[in-house]
Amino acid sequence: MTDTPKARRPRSDGQRSRLALLAAARSAFMAGESDIRMDAIASRAGVGVGTLYRHFADRSALIEAVYADERDQLVASAPVLAARHKPLEALRQWMQLFVAYAATKKMMTPVLETVTGGAASLHERSGAPIIDAMQRLTSACVTAGALRDDIDPMDMLRAVYGVCTIAGDRPQQAVQFIDIVLAGARPGVTP
Amino acid sequence: MTDTPKARRPRSDGQRSRLALLAAARSAFMAGESDIRMDAIASRAGVGVGTLYRHFADRSALIEAVYADERDQLVASAPVLAARHKPLEALRQWMQLFVAYAATKKMMTPVLETVTGGAASLHERSGAPIIDAMQRLTSACVTAGALRDDIDPMDMLRAVYGVCTIAGDRPQQAVQFIDIVLAGARPGVTP
DNA sequence: AAGCTAAACGGAAGCATACTCCGCTTTTCA
DNA sequence: TGAAAAGCGGAGTATGCTTCCGTTTAGCTT
């Protein structure tokens, strides 16, 4: 069972198509055309729509693939920051990176929500590593006494995400908002 | 021009259909069936789909009508709270009401985002009075020295909305988060 | 009460768009 | 070089929103 029959090298044209599709989709999403049609993406990539579906199971899979790279970078930066800074500062800087990530994602949020299964399925698939990173950074802060322990870390991230997503294009404002949230989450601070 | 020819009374069956449609749509959205079909709503209301479109221009118009009532209540409560409490407390309580409002809306958020034109058009139409209420409450706080003046009030609301929307069904957590945000937004607090 | 008129009704047809299917082409490897 | 596997394209299918229009019905008038 599962014997590897020959292990052929992947075809070059297939890889080319895949990259062209990713590039076309990325540029379309970045341009804010969240409701772009699948065949439009295919023809911009210079391939037929059948080819698109050969490489990506459905719209949501394409979206996920487009943002997989950036997400991986974001996740990978967490341990680096944790090693280089004090816990609270690491968390703060990582949340700033998250804002940048969310900003590139912003225009495609409607797409995210639109996909069948809603935000849940996609967020879970694509978001698990992000949640993990956030929780590690936060618990380090709690251990260091720099943050209260009765706050769901994800709520902080959701709040920042909410500011990014719904706001216009003002990442600066979202960055400032990180400090507001962190200030409110310090031990011994109450309204 | 614009002479009132006769001014007939609106037909009773028309009003009945409209109410039946609103009730059917409301219960469907509340039940979390965000992807319910238009003809399903019509038949639940006991009318044809043509009748639905006679009363509501499109899906987004129907959604907006369903939530118009609750939104109006929320907006109307702002001046009441402002008269009854100190500025910061009024703001705090109003944001709590907003959480309840957003929670009822939560299941239909995908619908909101789905509608053509995206969140923008609907949010603007339906959200302007909310923005106005929030800004009044906030500026009272700033005047009273209870809040910094360099914060976009809408960012606070967006953050809370983000927590509500993306989080599961834990309005309690969102309410707690209001206090975190307000704590971080007090004058003289920095991380 | 009967008739007139405009409003409201119903649902079949029209249209848009995500996704599938399959015969044809290209690439890899022996 | 030839066989077979992988990839390609785009017409076809399915689904669901919206429109269109002939029919019905409520409100007004006489």
pLDDT value at B18 more than 90: yes
Q: In this predicted model, what pLDDT tens digit does every residue of B120-130 receive, in sequence order? A: 444 555 677 88
pLDDT at A70: 81
In terms of CATH architecture, what is B12-56?
Orthogonal Bundle (1.10)
pLDDT at B173 over 70: yes
**Residues whose CB is less than 8 angstroms from the CB of residue A168 and which lie 6 or more positions away in sequence, other chains included:** none
Nearest CA among A127, A121, A183 for reference residue A151: A183
- Residues A14, A8 contacting (CB under 8 angstroms): no
Q: What is the pLDDT of residue A169?
A: 58
For chain A, say whether B180 makes contact (Cβ under 8 Å). Answer: yes
Q: Quick one: pLDDT band at residue B92, thresholds 50, 70, 90?
A: very high
| DSSP string for residues in B62-73 | HHHHHHHHHHHH
Do the beta carbons of residue B153 and residue B138 sit within 8 Å?
yes
Q: Does domain A66-184 have CATH number 1.10.357.10?
A: yes
- pLDDT tens track, chain A, 191 positions: 444 455 789 999 999 999 999 999 999 988 877 789 999 999 999 999 999 999 999 998 998 888 887 888 889 999 999 999 999 999 999 999 988 887 766 545 544 443 333 444 445 556 778 888 999 999 999 999 999 999 989 889 888 877 776 555 566 778 889 999 999 999 976 65
Whole-number pLDDT of residue B86: 97
- What CATH number labels B67-184? 1.10.357.10
Pairwise pLDDT comparison (B2 vs A128), residue with the higher score: A128
Report chain A residues whose CB lies below 8 A from the CB of B110: 113-114, 118-119
Cβ of B181 and A184 within 8 Å?
A: yes
Whether residue B31 is predicted with pLDDT greater than 50 in this model: the reply is yes
CB contact under 8 A, B183 and A184: yes
Task: State whether residue B92 sits within 8 Å of chain A by CB.
Answer: yes
The pLDDT, as a whole number, for residue A40 is 97
Alpha helical stretches, state H, chain B = 12-30, 38-44, 49-55, 59-84, 87-106, 109-114, 118-143, 153-166, 171-184
Would you tell me the crossing angle of helices B153-166 and A171-184 to the nearest 10 degrees?
80
Is A173 at the interface with chain B, CB within 8 A? yes
- Which residues contact residue B37 at a Cβ distance below 8 angstroms, ignoring those fewer than 6 apart? none
Domain residue spans of chain B: 12-56, 67-184
Q: Which positions on strand C lie below 7 Å from a protein C-beta?
A: 6-12, 17-22, 26-30
Q: For residues A122 and A66, what is the distance between their CA atoms, to the nearest angstrom?
A: 13
B109 touches B166 (CB < 8 A):
no
Residue appearing with tokens 């023809």: A43
Given this model, what pLDDT does residue B170 score? 66
